[in-house]
Amino acid sequence: MMEQRVRVAVPAPLFHTLDYLAGPLAIRPGCRVQVPLGRRQVVGIALSTPRLPDAPDQFTCRPVSACLDDTPLLPAAILDLCTWASEYYHHPIGEVFAAALPASLRKPDKPGRRKSKSGKPPDVTCVPAPAANEDQRAVLEGLAALPGGFSVSLLEGVTGSGKTEIYLQRVEAILAQGGQALVLTPEIGLTPQLVERFRERFGSLVSVFHSGLGEKARTEAWRAAHAGTCNVLIGTRSAVFVPLPRLALVVVDEEHDASFKQQEGFRYSARDVAIIRAQQAGVPVILGSATPSLESLYNAERGRYQHFVLPGRARAQDMPRLRLIDTRGAALVHGLAPELLDATQRHLDAGGQVLMFVNQRGYAPALLCHVCGWTAPCPHCDSRLTLHRARGRLICHHCASETRLPTRCGQCAGSTLVPVGQGTERVEDTLREQFPEARSERMDSDRARKAGELDRLLADIRSRAIQILVGTQMLAKGHDFDGLSLVGVVATDQALYSADFRAVERMAQLLTQVSGRAGRGITRGEVLVQTREPEHPQLQAWLRGGYRGLAKRLIEERRVAGLPPFAHLAMLRADALEAGSAMTFLRHAADMLQGRGVDVMGPVPAPMERRANRYRAQLLLRATHRAKLQTLLTASVHGLQSLPGARKVRWSVDVDPLDLY
Ligand code: ADP
Ligand code: ZN
Ligand code: ZN
């Protein structure tokens, strides 16, 4: 007798599904099933119930232990989306589902049914929307006039131009028709403003979903979205996989932000998955940013995306004045030019607040022997240790290992060790010294680690108890400080010399976002950028033409160099404890991938070859057509597992890599 089988995605690093015998159980796709895997019992997702009358391997099938759901927990839309993601990112399907489901729903003991709160006929508006200004009206009319179904709209507008208000009004329109909206944002913990704005407008119709929530709250939000009782789901990366049965609009705020890309394990881009989700669901997606990624700008340029622009600030303040400070030959005070210090005094005197942007936490990025030039190295990485003076430690920012401060040089035993370069701690110390009458504080991930610290700092900035704030890119995101009138950028030049082709794009996004913090209140802002390369064509392009001016130039450079968005990349990475193993494995991989219509570049050792005691190497694949790259990967990823040396290394595929190291 033929027994019914069920195809299951199990949580294991397998590129394929496993078939199990369903027995008397009626198992529909999307149900969770408990199945044996080796000696363990695991929870997998039933994908389909294939009818294979003459399957020869039937005897190898083991039976399903239990079906955990009467009705499918995952709707077809999410099964399709996860299947697409598994195929596109070449990541094991079971691990994709594991990333898509809250942990509590992946445990064997939890029953799948739960009465969801019955739907309330929703009262949509809590705080009424302000009347849209002229530019917003044009955008809203444009969005409303799009033909129904899938479309991608890029909404470009500087910080404060009223993009969030556009999202709110579009969401309001779809809620009025009974739809649900998904709003993705790079960060919620650091930037609660977006959620606050939505809550203000839509009250209890809004749920949030992000990793900072406890498991219980996450599961509740997931269930509410799934049951259709939450109408607006705001979340970070993994929210893109939450079921929304009446999904009618997807918004991706700060679409350029690198944190939409998961950098380890299942390396997906939530922005790109969101676009596919909207496409599969046949609904519009809005990508918003003050500094769109070059990929999105290019897609808009060639008409694949609609392009809407909000040219000014919603409340019509002037944009901040930008100026470069040439630091060559300047008498720097711990890295700060006199001109920057003077400007700080001027703004403080006028009652303004000052933000100093430093892209490095700690006191100084290196500790140098004045006699022989030795710098304290990390024993586990090819990198230098960062001096954290307040904690009295040297810390590696790559593997987190720590040591005491040395009193003598590790090479010549000399006792004159000097900090080189500027971190947030050092700039904070310097500003406290220079402006004793002002209160200077630092905001970076070291400081924010203490519970409640970030909220206290933000509150003190708002109440103007803090006049000078020193911070990392943490500050670039979404914060709205009304009294801020001067932004100083302490160092930018690293990006100009970087080997990473995206470094300048990222720098420009960061600088533009940081600049956007200045003068959002009543005073006109000023932005001063220290550099040793004031004539650098890329900096000049930014200064003259703003982000768009520079982006235009960078897109041309990418076209000439054959880099994204004019080519598609995948990175094969490998690392191993033994020197050479990763390179050997990737050489075999390169041989296998060679000559199949895709450029195979490398392998080369990673720019920082040794990290946390592992030796790393990489192989870059490039194709003009996405399909060519995908075909090759689909045909060969399985084979990589059986290459010589594969067992000695950890390897991974990164499709559309953001970081090339
Ligand atoms: P963005 O998302 O582009 O940074 P916001 O939507 O947050 O811009 O708008 C910036 C500020 O202007 C906010 O304080 C917002 O409340 C206000 N604002 C936006 N649109 C309007 C409008 N049409 N009328 C009055 N205030 C507005
Ligand atoms: Zn020395
Ligand atoms: Zn290290």
For 601-611, how does the pLDDT look when each residue is reduced to its tens digit (9 = 90+)?
999 999 899 99
Ligand 1, atom 6: closest residue by C-alpha = 162
What is the model's pLDDT at position 464? 93
> Minimum-distance ligand to the CA of 374?
2
484: pLDDT strictly greater than 60: yes
The string of pLDDT tens digits covering residues 556-603 is: 999 999 999 999 999 999 999 999 999 999 999 999 999 999 999 999
User: What is the C-alpha separation between 127 and 121, in angstroms, rounded?
Assistant: 18
Pocket lining: 164 vs ligand 1, CB cutoff 6 Å? yes
User: What is the C-alpha separation between 369 and 139, in angstroms, rounded?
Assistant: 58
> Minimum-distance ligand to the CA of 412?
2
Span from the CA of 628 to the centroid of ligand 3 (angstroms): 38
Span from the CA of 615 to the centroid of ligand 3 (angstroms): 12
> Minimum-distance ligand to the CA of 375?
2
Instruction: Label residue 523 by pLDDT band (50, 70, 90).
Output: low
The string of pLDDT tens digits covering residues 297-312 is: 999 999 999 999 998 7
Q: What is the mean pLDDT of residues 257-286?
A: 96
- Paired sense of beta strands 40-48 and 32-37, if any: antiparallel
Q: How many CA atoms does the CB half-sphere of 433 hold within 13 Å?
A: 9
What is the model's pLDDT at position 495? 83
Residue 417 tokens read as 């060790």
Pocket lining: 163 vs ligand 1, CB cutoff 6 Å? yes
Instruction: Label residue 478 by pLDDT band (50, 70, 90).
Output: low
Pocket lining: 309 vs ligand 1, CB cutoff 6 Å? no
Pocket test for ligand 1, best of 286, 315, 479 (most atoms within 8 A of CB): 315
What is the model's pLDDT at position 522? 60
Q: What is the mean pLDDT of residues 542-565?
A: 93
Instruction: Label residue 498 by pLDDT band (50, 70, 90).
Output: confident
pTM of the model: 0.92
Pocket lining: 193 vs ligand 1, CB cutoff 6 Å? no
Q: Percentage of the chain surpassing pLDDT 90?
A: 71
Instruction: Label residue 533 by pLDDT band (50, 70, 90).
Output: very high
Instruction: Label residue 192 by pLDDT band (50, 70, 90).
Output: confident
> Minimum-distance ligand to the CA of 127?
1
CB 361 within 8 A of CB 446: yes
Instruction: Label residue 119 by pLDDT band (50, 70, 90).
Output: very low
User: What is the C-alpha separation between 114 and 217, in angstroms, rounded?
Assistant: 15
Q: Which atom of ligand 1 is nearest to the CA of 132?
A: 23
User: Which residues is 18 bridged to in the sheet?
Assistant: 8
The string of pLDDT tens digits covering residues 13-44 is: 888 899 999 888 889 999 999 999 989 999 99
What is the model's pLDDT at position 120? 47
CB 335 within 8 A of CB 491: yes
Residue 415 tokens read as 């006792």
More confident residue, 193 or 537: 537
290: pLDDT strictly greater than 80: yes
Instruction: Label residue 84 by pLDDT band (50, 70, 90).
Output: very high
Pocket lining: 162 vs ligand 1, CB cutoff 6 Å? yes
Q: Percentage of the chain surpassing pLDDT 70?
A: 93
Lowest mean pLDDT, pick from 85-89, 190-194, 391-395, 640-644: 190-194
What is the model's pLDDT at position 470? 94
> Minimum-distance ligand to the CA of 370?
2
3-state secondary structure string across 374-442: CECECCCCCCECEEECCCCEEECCCCCCEEECCCCCCCCCCCCEEEECCCHHHHHHHHHHHCCCCCEEE
Ligand 1, atom 10: closest residue by C-alpha = 160
Strand order of the β-sheet with 440-443 is 321-326, 526-531, 484-489, 353-357, 468-471, 440-443
- How far is the CA of 323 from the CAs of 291, 503, 561, in angstroms? 19, 21, 30
Span from the CA of 395 to the centroid of ligand 2 (angstroms): 20
What number of helices (H) and strands (E) belong to the chain? 17, 28
Beta-carbon contacts of residue 105 (< 8 Å; ≥ 6 apart): 32, 73, 112, 219, 222
Torsion angle of alpha carbons 645, 646, 647, 651, nearest 10°? 130
Q: What would you report as the CA-atom Rg of the chain, rounded to the nearest whole angstrom?
A: 27
Ligand 1, atom 24: closest residue by C-alpha = 130
Pocket lining: 133 vs ligand 1, CB cutoff 6 Å? yes
Residue 377 tokens read as 């190295």
Instruction: Label residue 118 by pLDDT band (50, 70, 90).
Output: very low
115: pLDDT strictly greater than 80: no
What is the model's pLDDT at position 52? 55
What is the model's pLDDT at position 322? 87
Question: Token pair 């630092």 is at which residue?
Answer: 442
Beta-carbon contacts of residue 391 (< 8 Å; ≥ 6 apart): none
The string of pLDDT tens digits covering residues 48-65 is: 877 655 455 555 789 999
CB 361 within 8 A of CB 391: no
Instruction: Label residue 112 by pLDDT band (50, 70, 90).
Output: very low
Q: Which atom of ligand 1 is nearest to the CA of 136?
A: 23
The string of pLDDT tens digits covering residues 87-103 is: 999 999 999 999 899 98
User: What is the C-alpha separation between 106 and 33, in angstroms, rounded?
Assistant: 10
Q: What is the mean pLDDT of residues 273-291?
A: 97
Q: What is the mean pLDDT of residues 236-258?
A: 96
Span from the CA of 1 to the centroid of ligand 3 (angstroms): 61
What is the model's pLDDT at position 518? 74
Instruction: Label residue 2 by pLDDT band (50, 70, 90).
Output: low
Q: What is the mean pLDDT of residues 55-76?
A: 82
Ligand 1, atom 12: closest residue by C-alpha = 314
Span from the CA of 384 to the centroid of ligand 2 (angstroms): 15
Span from the CA of 165 to the centroid of ligand 1 (angstroms): 6
What is the model's pLDDT at position 318? 64
Of residues 220, 439, 427, the one with CA closest to residue 341 = 427
The string of pLDDT tens digits covering residues 129-146 is: 899 999 999 999 999 999
Instruction: Label residue 450 by pLDDT band (50, 70, 90).
Output: confident
Q: Which atom of ligand 1 is nearest to the CA of 133?
A: 23
Mean pLDDT of the chain: 90
Pocket test for ligand 1, best of 136, 163, 165 (most atoms within 8 A of CB): 165
Pocket lining: 160 vs ligand 1, CB cutoff 6 Å? yes
Torsion angle of alpha carbons 601, 607, 610, 615, nearest 10°? 0
Spacing of C-alpha 209 from chain mean position: 15
User: What is the C-alpha separation between 378 and 176, in angstroms, rounded?
Assistant: 58
> Minimum-distance ligand to the CA of 608?
3
Q: What is the mean pLDDT of residues 174-178?
A: 94
532 CB-contact burial (10 Å; exposed 0-12 / middle 13-18 / buried 19+): middle
User: Which residues is 519 bridged to in the sheet?
Assistant: none
Span from the CA of 576 to the centroid of ligand 3 (angstroms): 15
Lowest mean pLDDT, pick from 134-138, 358-362, 445-449, 580-584: 445-449
Instruction: Label residue 218 by pLDDT band (50, 70, 90).
Output: very high
Span from the CA of 525 to the centroid of ligand 3 (angstroms): 39
